Each structure stands twice: as structure tokens, then as C-alpha cells.
Amino acid sequence: MANNGENLIEGIRGLPLVNQADFFDLGILTFEDEIRGMCERNTCGRYGRAWNCPPVCGTVKELEAVCRGYSMGIFLDTIKQLKDSFDWQGMMDGGRDLCDVLLEVDGLAKAAGMEGYRIFGAGGCNACKACSYPDTPCRHPDKLFTPIEACGINVMETAKKSGFKYINGQNTVTYFGMILFNE
């Protein structure tokens, strides 16, 4: 790996909320309309309600072309301990934790001198209390991370193929992010 990628992954591994981070082979990514269908069925409640989510973020085909334009990737996860399996607030807090981590990853990438990278996460972003969609342009487009699932990527399969656990114990929730770049 070239120096920028090595510097970036070491920085990511040093972030307090990151459980695991590793380079992964972008060839393992599969893009499935069925996965994107979860977005279209509004499983998380954000479809058509946020600048980073479908349908605004692009089609599966468009997002696949974006992802295929990169040669390197780092996959990472965060784990949130829950009070119990019904701890909805804990689950939402875990999603916000991942967004905060991805903002730190963005800062690390910039500090490593990287350009043209793209970060993907889970669900909505934390930049604003309420998204301005569709009334006004995004107030923080530099803090907008497309959800991995919005690309049609099967996160569970990607995690498994990358050596990550998708389920990390009782009363936990695991969130995944990735940064794609060229070196």
C-alpha cells in the first residue's frame, strides 16, 4: 500500500469508536437492486427525505460506476452496546456515532493529503438537526455520506468477505463505513 493509505488506516484504527478497520478488495462488492429496495420500501424512514439518501443520491447503476472508479478501499465498523434488543435510542445513537467517526475519517483523509476519495456510511448524516431536503440545497455537502445500502451493496456479505463480524454479540448493533480512493 502506498503511504497515504497506510497513514489513513493507522489513523482510522486509532479512533476511539472504531472497532476494526482494514483494506478490502473492491472486487468483492456486489451491487443489487434488492438491497436498494430496502431504501425504496423506506425501511429506515429516510427515503425521499434526505440529500444523502435515495432517490437523490443516484441509482444503483450510477453509484456502482462511482465505486468502480476507485482502486482502493478501507472498510471499518463501530459497535454500540445496547441496554437490550429493543433499545431503539441506543441504535440511533450508534448510527450517529458512525457518522461522527466518518467525519473524523474525512479529516484524516484530508490530513493524509488524499484527494478525490469518497466515504460511504449507514443511514442519515449528523450535520443538521433537520435535513433541508427538498426545500433548499444541502447546507453541508462536504459532510454528506451516501449509505452503503443505497448503492445496493450487501453490507453483511461485504463484512463477511472482508473478515468482519456482522453480529458482535447480544445487545449490540454494528455499523459499517467505507472510504474508497485511488493511489
For residue 104, the Cα-to-chain-centroid distance in whole angstroms is 13
What is the DSSP-derived secondary structure letter of residue 153?
B
pLDDT 10s digits, 92-115:
899 889 999 999 999 999 998 899
Report in angstroms the alpha-carbon separations of 179 from 40, 101, 116, 119, 135.
Answer: 24, 12, 11, 4, 29
pLDDT value for 53:
87
pTM: 0.92
pLDDT value for 87:
94
Is the pLDDT confidence value at 125 over 90?
A: no
